[in-house]
């Protein structure tokens, strides 16, 4: 069973565990760089929505309200729950809930093809690139969804 919920401070341990599982899978890559201090600061200030599979947190999105847009700061699904369409469902929920008010903005490392495919499937469009944005020298692609 799949369900989508707004996440609160009681979900922080599960969010931290999920990020830890992603780091264990791929290492602390520039394209997904969330050491504890950065993650703690983001969890303290961003809004969160998550998708659950049989009660387990399968993925979540952190986002914040800007003047003109919702800025998405973190997108992750647990390695055990990939390619089941769960992040796509979660994004569609967020778009339905928030997308009529403001644009959605996010950025992705140029080498993170899985994430780019997800965003393009959802109708995000590349608006520009920020050269050498990441600490490994990779460029950021900025995507928006109107
Ligand atoms: C990117 C990420 C969030 C995708 O999560 P997911 O749970 O696998 O996503 P979904 O199952 O909902 O995939 C939906 C669509 O995204 C695209 N997609 C997802 N993973 C893909 C991959 N490895 N290769 C190609 N396309 C991919 C596909 O179009 C897919 O649809 P399809 O399965 O019908 O082809 C996940 O791989 C992840 O957490 N990666 C590590 C953290 C990260 O990079 N976060 C993004 C930082 S910007």
CA–CA separation, 59 and 7 (whole Å): 11
Residue 12 pLDDT: 98
Residue 99 pLDDT: 77
Tens of pLDDT, residue by residue over 20-65, are: 999 999 999 999 999 999 999 999 999 999 999 999 999 999 999 9
Smallest CA separation from ligand 1 atom 37, residue: 114
Q: Is the dihedral of CA 120, 106, 98, 89 positive or negative?
A: positive
Atom of ligand 1 nearest to the CA of 106: 48
Structure tokens at 77: 């699904």
pLDDT band at 101 (very low <50, low <70, confident <90, very high): confident
What's the pTM value of the predicted model, to 2 decimals? 0.97
Residue 146 pLDDT: 84
Number of domains in the chain: 1
CA distances to 1, 32, 33, 83 from 136, in Å: 39, 11, 11, 27
Average pLDDT over residues 102-107: 95
CB of 2 shorter than 6 A to ligand 1: no
Atom of ligand 1 nearest to the CA of 86: 12
CB 72 within 8 A of CB 37: no
Q: What is the CATH number of the domain that holds 13?
A: 3.40.630.30
Tens of pLDDT, residue by residue over 65-84, are: 999 999 999 999 999 999 99
Query: In sequence order, which residues have a C-beta less than 8 Å from that of residue 32 and are 6 or more positions away?
Result: 22, 23, 26, 76, 112
Residue 76 pLDDT: 98
Mean pLDDT for the chain? 96
CB of 75 shorter than 6 A to ligand 1: yes
Q: Which domain holds residue 140?
A: 2-145
Residue 142 pLDDT: 98
Smallest CA separation from ligand 1 atom 41, residue: 76
Smallest CA separation from ligand 1 atom 10, residue: 85
CA of 92 to the centre of ligand 1 (A): 14
CB of 21 shorter than 6 A to ligand 1: no
Radius of gyration, alpha carbons of the chain: 14
């Amino acid at each position: 069973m799949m369900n989508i919920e707004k996440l609160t401070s009681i979900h922080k341990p599960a969010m931290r565990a999920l990020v830890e599982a992603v780091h264990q899978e791929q290492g602390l890559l520039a394209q997904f760089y969330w050491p504890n201090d950065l993650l703690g600061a983001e969890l303290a200030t961003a809004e969160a929505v998550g998708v659950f599979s049989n009660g387990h947190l399968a993925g979540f999105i952190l986002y914040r309200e800007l003047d003109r847009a919702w800025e998405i700061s973190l997108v992750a699904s647990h390695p055990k729950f990939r390619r089941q369409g769960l992040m796509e469902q979660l994004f569609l929920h967020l778009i339905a809930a928030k997308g009529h008010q403001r644009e959605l903005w996010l950025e992705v490392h140029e080498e993170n093809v899985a994430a780019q495919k997800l965003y393009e499937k959802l109708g995000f469009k590349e608006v520009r690139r920020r050269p050498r944005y990441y600490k490994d020298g990779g460029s950021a692609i900025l995507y928006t969804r109107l």
